[in-house]
Amino acid sequence: TPMESVHNQQIDGVLLARHGKLVLEEYFHGQHRDKPHDTRSASKSMTATLVGAAMYAGAPLKLSTPVYQVMNGGVFPASLDPLKREMTLEHLLSMSSGYYCNDSDLKAPGREDTMWEQDKEPNFYQYALRLPMAFHPGDTAIYCSTNPNLALGVLQQATGESPLYLFDRLVAGPLKMRNYGWGTDPAGNAYGGGGAMFRPREFMKFGQLMLNGGTWNGKRILSREFVARASSPLVKIGTRPYGLGWWIYDLPYRNRKVRAFAALGNGGQNVFVVPDLDLVVAVYASNYGDRVLFQIQDDLVPNQILPAVR
């Protein structure tokens, strides 16, 4: 597409994998297969992948694990808000914690930009724990990056190991990811709300891992149960079903609908998994903050790619 306007779609890379094999790989605008790209909020799906991998590897965690019990060394803090006592790891990964936390609400103290702009608390895990509650955990899902970020805090507290090292050992190593970037908060904690950088093929591997039911080259990374729950419609954020870090879609295919789930990030970062078609689609783009980014999930995938699948 000619770059005549900031509203023109700027696709940086498109990759398609069918039956576990890469069948199409194209790059544009100076991008290439060895150049890491910002995944923005699509890395929320990587956060969920890391949590699932750690649980499968034996971390003392379940999706039902109480957040405040873990973060306080195994016991609930005295005089804890009863609503916070009910908050679980699954609530964080499904963004239904109940915190007053909304990335689109300038007044919400848990809003991602508000957290990054303040300088009183450099430890974002501790920042989140002090947020006021707005809902009962599990009742209302609202898009807020503070939730999956705190999930990494729970993981770190439960294992005594930085999520950066856990990811490298449990996910990046087995999937042969050798050149990637994962951001931190001002205190040096791994940030799980977005912005991780991966090379295009490695970005796509997260989708293939999920399509494989949690295995990679015969090695199990995630339990089948975790994959199924992460890719199921557990809550709704706005009108879109959401699982654990993955958005849920019903896409048109010939005369029927096929279920898909996707990692999505600002600018047009997409990994779509379509189990019925044994298909993974990965797209990198640079339409940051512009609604043209939605053309990828609204048009490119359903109207251009799926009709070509036999």
What would the pLDDT profile of 78-135 be if each residue is shown by its tens digit? 999 999 999 999 999 999 999 999 999 999 999 999 999 999 999 999 999 999 999 9
pLDDT at 1 over 80: no
- Cβ pair 221, 205 in contact under 8 A: no
pTM value surpassing 0.85: yes
pLDDT score, position 141: 98
Q: What is the mean pLDDT of the chain?
A: 97
Section 18-22 average pLDDT: 98
pLDDT score, position 51: 98
pLDDT score, position 181: 97
Reported as a pLDDT band with limits 50, 70 and 90, residue 6 is confident
Which whole-number Å values give the CA distances from 16 to 11, 68, 177, 190, 259, in the listed order? 14, 41, 18, 30, 17
Q: Where do the H-state alpha helices sit in 119-251?
A: 124-129, 146-159, 163-167, 200-211, 224-230
CB-count burial class (<10 Å; 0-12, 13-18, 19+) for 53: buried
- The alpha carbons of the chain give a radius of gyration, in whole angstroms, of 19
Section 180-189 average pLDDT: 97
Q: Over the stretch 62-87, which tens digit does the pLDDT of each residue have? A: 999 999 999 999 999 999 999 999 99
Contacts of 132 (CB under 8 A, 6+ apart): 99, 100, 109
pLDDT score, position 3: 81
CA distance 78 to 38: 41
Q: Over the stretch 255-280, which tens digit does the pLDDT of each residue have? A: 999 999 999 999 999 999 999 999 99
